[in-house]
A and B are shown apart, each in its own frame.
Chain A
Amino acid sequence: MTSTTSSIRRRKEFRETYLWSLKKNRGMMALMALLLFMALPMILMTIMANARNNTKEVYTPEMWTQTYMQSIRSLVPILAIPITLIFVVVLSVSLFSYMHQKRSVDLFHALPVGRSPMLLGRLFAGLTALFAPILLNFAIALAVGMSYPVEMNTCWASIIAYLLWLMLISAAALFFCAFMAVCTGTTVDMILSILGVNAAYPLLILLSDQFAKLLLPGLATDLNPSSIILTAISPFAAAFMPYFGDGGRFSGAAQTVGAAFFIWWILFALVLLAVTVILYKRRSSECAESSFAFPIPKNVICFMITAVTGLGFGLILRSSSENSANFFIGLIAGSLAAHIVTEAIYSRGFKQLRKSFAGYGVFAAVFLVAYAILATGAFGYDTRIPNAADVASVSIDGESYSGDNTVYRTDGSRLAQITPTLTESQNIEQAVDVHKKVIEENKKSYPYNIQNQAGITYKLNYHLKNGKVLKRFYSVPYKDTKDGGYTTVFTPLTELKEYRESGNLLFYVEPEYIKSVDVNTRNNGDGLTVAPDLNTKKRLLEAMRQDSLNGTIDSNKVDTTVSISIEYKHPTELKDGKLKSYLGNYSGKIDLGSRGYQLPEKGSATVALIKELGWDK
């Protein structure tokens, strides 16, 4: 009975806090809705209205769809996300700064409202204030699409993915702000901590990755903008990552990020919400106007900023002279300066500075332990190499002579990357032998020191017969060759027929995929565009494949005089064949765009065919 009464009372307290907080922030909600309208539907309407006027071609539904989706894909990360994140901070200050003033704490903590409903009521009011403008403006954006001949059935999934991602990450960011509000004692410290973690954490991961790769030969971390770890506790940085994770080509959030990214942020938001509520219930009211209510976030932030500045400054100084001593000078100077500045900001002076050096000691100890582990080969990581007999295949992702081998979806997101893969046993044995040579060469400077990374990079992925994958990443020195190319210890592998066939898009495409061919010979001035018949396409592909196997197609060689560009159909419908099989029998359409190749005047089967067909005239 008592429990029921208490539950009813808590619900009422939550409802009243929610409604009051929402009422208090309705102006902010309206402003956000207006700014989002200007940033998304209004610009979208303008683009769509002007789209047809900017081209003389007949504007097909396909073109309307492309214009519509490209606009949304650009406007969301450039305008909608920044606006939303700014309002996350503004709303957080409005909702949670009451904890940071003794006078307001006297009022709010004396009210007959439990701490959980007080915090949750405000949090959910904040979510409503964020979600309502986002939903409204995405609905208008969809309505704009429907009012034009846009193929909405192909756009729904992407737009819903953008919407869900924006809602999820703004909720995570709001919970993060609430967490920081509870942990800090002043609003200034709250904002500094939000900025500190969101900027320092991704930088710390990037710099640690860079540092570790410089120190430990072969280290393969697979860190990329879409990696969860890169922004794992930085929702403000994570919000943008899916949009910049594909080499400059905007990609759909849902497709690029993957389910793991969504799952991580859902879990992160839920755990953060629970932790924030628990901490708020334990938070002492008297912490208001002191710098921190709980010391752990402060220590973590100080550690991150100290480490980031130390590593960053160390790497900058090292890059100027490639000298390890410079790295350590930069590391010590940068980390000490950052520690003192951070402590001075958080403690409002230098009174606590002496005590704070215990925290600096933790950083120094962590760095020394990490350095010692990496310099001694990370418990055998540097020499671990599989037996050739245990390897099913080895893919070698390195400097490619064969151009861009990426396959895109029709919405511009990356579907797959064609990577050279060796499966024949003698080739695998040769790859293992080359790998052993690289290890032996690196062992000459054991224990390892920070290395010069200026070289050609190769990534080896061993797919073992037991299903495991062993990855190693090397930067190896190279020698220039007389013909303008270069050789490395990996060159014998890259000259294997299997390597060249498996790593070149030309060996995967069908003649039917080709729409047109641009040919440009240096002696003939402007290029020529031709739309060959099927037989000519077949002959052209055969000639180019032959050149690829001979190593004739090489954009790195200086004596190339003929350039050829193959324009593929957009979109390309996959036929049964090698590419469809490589893509796992992908059922959708793809976009291959256009791919350019450089050819020498002599010794090229492709150039001979061009001459035979008269395309050089």
Chain B
Amino acid sequence: MIEAKKLTKRFGATTALDEISFSVGSGSVFGLVGSNGAGKSTFLRTLAGVYKPDGGEVLLDGAAPFENSEVKSSLFFISDFPYFLPQANLREMAGFFARIYPNWSQKRFDELCTLFPIDSKSKILNMSKGMQRQAAIICAIATQPRCLLMDEVFDGLDPVMRQLLKRIVSGEVSQRSMTVIIASHNLRELEDFCDHVGLFHKGGVIFERDLDELKLGINKVQAVFKPMPELSAFAPLEIIKTEMHGSLINLVVRGSKDEILSRINELNPIFTEVLPLTLEEVFISEMEVAGYDLDNILN
């Protein structure tokens, strides 16, 4: 179990993490989403023990990872630009990690080398970005971590490799109850991979929730009215976003589908439809609620 308790990290005058608190259960795949500079990578680095918190704490199974080798030996962090030893190939990197990680599995490493189309004897620095990510993933899984932290890991991977990554990671989660935290802007990929998501914005956590619950708890409503009721008529609904085009109204509303339908139908629409939001739409809606000026940015 991972717990962040009032976790704070500052870089000079900038507060990257501002007293965030949430927890991630063991064996879950947790997606970290958020705007640029929201603090996702900072959170991962703090959890990996790279950064020392300036306040609060982050714990893995009750122990802080900073300067704690025992905790770190059950963690592996794949950063957004993975680093490899100069001139090293995948086998040499494996040798390096095998010395340091007590749970290193050479058998698993060899298996993964056959699964991924990678030449383990070529210099990693000469490989493409996607191939370097594959190398990092192979090493990470072979250390058999209890907790795998990945920052923008889909970046550079082709669709087949993304599916392979998801399959391998899901297998590790189901077999070993590995916990995964993955930060990404690729919400489409997270949507069918994560079971929980946390939305970061300006150093704070806007929410963290079960993904299904999240998607079911926020819906998009399209309805046609003649005549269009006053907006105050929709007030009982927890509306996040409203758009009106003549007699058509589009709403993003918090709540269950049945509850929303029943409220809308009370206003006698000509047509009504309730659709679940994609994760990307949820993200955008929540970001707007959080004050992200999308119209201004996009225009």
Binding site for B on A (CB under 8 A): 9-10, 13, 16, 19-20, 24, 101, 103-107, 109-115, 281, 284-286
Does A284 lie within 8 Å of B83, measured CB to CB?
A: no
The reply to whether A110 and B69 form a contact with Cβ atoms under 8 Å apart is no
Q: Is B193 an interface position by the 8 A CB rule? A: no
Q: Determine the residue in chain A with the shortest Cβ distance to B49.
A: A110
A112 and B67 contacting across the interface, CB-CB below 8 Å: no
Q: Is the CB of A112 within 8 A of B100?
A: yes
Q: Does B50 have its Cβ within 8 Å of any Cβ on chain A?
A: yes
* Pairwise interchain contact A111-B67, C-beta atoms closer than 8 A: no
User: Which of chain A's residues have a CB closer than 8 A to the CB of B50?
Assistant: 105-106, 109-110, 285
A13 to B96, CA, bound (A): 12
How distant is A119 from chain B, measured CB to nearest CB, in Å?
12
Seed contacts A13-B69, A284-B52, A285-B50; 17 additional CB < 8 Å A-B pairs: A20-B96, A103-B82, A107-B82, A109-B48, A109-B49, A110-B48, A110-B72, A110-B75, A110-B77, A111-B72, A111-B100, A112-B72, A112-B73, A112-B100, A113-B72, A281-B67, A285-B45
Residues of B within 8 A of A105 (CB): 50
Tell me how far the C-beta of A182 lies from the nearest C-beta in chain B, rounded to whole angstroms: 15
How far does the alpha carbon of A20 sit from the alpha carbon of B76 in the complex, in Å?
Answer: 20
Residues of A within 8 A of B48 (CB): 106, 109-110
* Closest Cβ–Cβ distance, residue B66 to chain A (whole Å): 9
CB–CB A112/B101 < 8 A: yes
Residues on A with C-beta less than 8 A from B271 are: none
Number of A-B contacts defined by CB within 8 Å: 67
Q: A107-B79, A107-B82, A285-B50 are in contact. Are A9 and B70 (CB under 8 A)?
A: yes
Q: Which 8 pairs, one residue from A and one from B, show the smallest C-beta to C-beta distance?
A: A112-B73, A112-B72, A106-B79, A103-B83, A107-B83, A110-B48, A112-B69, A110-B77
Given known pairs A16-B99, A106-B83, A285-B50, the reply for A112 and B70 (CB within 8 Å) is yes
Q: Are B72 and A284 in contact (CB under 8 A)?
A: no
A402 to B55, CA, bound (A): 75
Q: Give CA–CA (A10, B73) in the complex, Å.
A: 13
Interface digits, B255-271 against A, CB 8 Å rule (1 contact, 0 not)?
00000000000000000
| Residue pair A103, B100 in contact (C-beta under 8 Å) | no
CB distance from A534 to the nearest CB of B (A): 74
Which B residues touch A285, using CB under 8 A? 45, 50-52
Contacting residues, chain A, for B85 (C-beta < 8 A) = 24
Q: Which of B49, B69, B77, B85 has the most CB of A within 10 A?
A: B69
**Residues on A with beta carbons closer than 8 Å to the beta carbon of B72:** 110-113
B-side interface size class: 20 to 34
Contact, CB under 8 Å: B77 / A106? yes
- Can you list 17 pairs linking A and B with CB atoms under 8 Å apart? A20-B99, A103-B81, A104-B83, A105-B50, A106-B83, A107-B79, A107-B82, A110-B45, A110-B49, A110-B72, A112-B69, A112-B70, A112-B73, A112-B102, A284-B51, A285-B50, A286-B51
| Contact A115 B67, beta carbon cutoff 8 Å | yes
Bound together, the chains give a CA A112 to CA B45 distance in angstroms of: 14
Query: Which residues from A are CB-within-8-Å of B11?
Result: 286
Alpha-carbon distance between A285 and B52 when the two chains are bound, in angstroms: 8
Cβ proximity bits B235-268 to A, threshold 8 Å, 1 near / 0 not:
0000000000000000000000000000000000
Those of B25-69 within 8 Å (CB) of chain A: 45, 48-52, 67, 69
Distance in Å from the Cβ of A4 to the closest Cβ of chain B?
A: 14
Q: Closest residue to B65 on the A side, CB-wise?
A: A110
Chain B residue contacts of A103, Cβ below 8 A? 79, 81-83
Residues of chain A with a CB closer than 8 A to B99's CB: 16, 19-20
Closest Cβ of chain A to B15, distance in Å, is 13
Chain A residues whose CB sits within 8 angstroms of the CB of B71 once the complex forms:
112
In the complex, how many angstroms separate the beta carbon of B171 from the nearest chain A beta carbon? 23
Q: Who on chain B is nearest to A285 by CB?
A: B50
CA distance A281 to B66 in the complex (A): 11
Residues from chain B with Cβ under 8 Å of A19 in the complex: 99
B79 near A114 (CB under 8 angstroms)? no
Residues on B with beta carbons closer than 8 Å to the beta carbon of A284? 51-52
**How far does the Cβ of B105 sit from chain A's closest Cβ, in whole Å?**
16
Given the complex of chains A and B, what is the CA–CA distance between A281 and B85 in angstroms? 23
Complex CA distance for A285 and B46, rounded to whole angstroms: 10
Cα of A103 to Cα of B45 in the assembled complex, Å: 11
Neighbouring A residues of B82 by C-beta, 8 Å: 103, 106-107
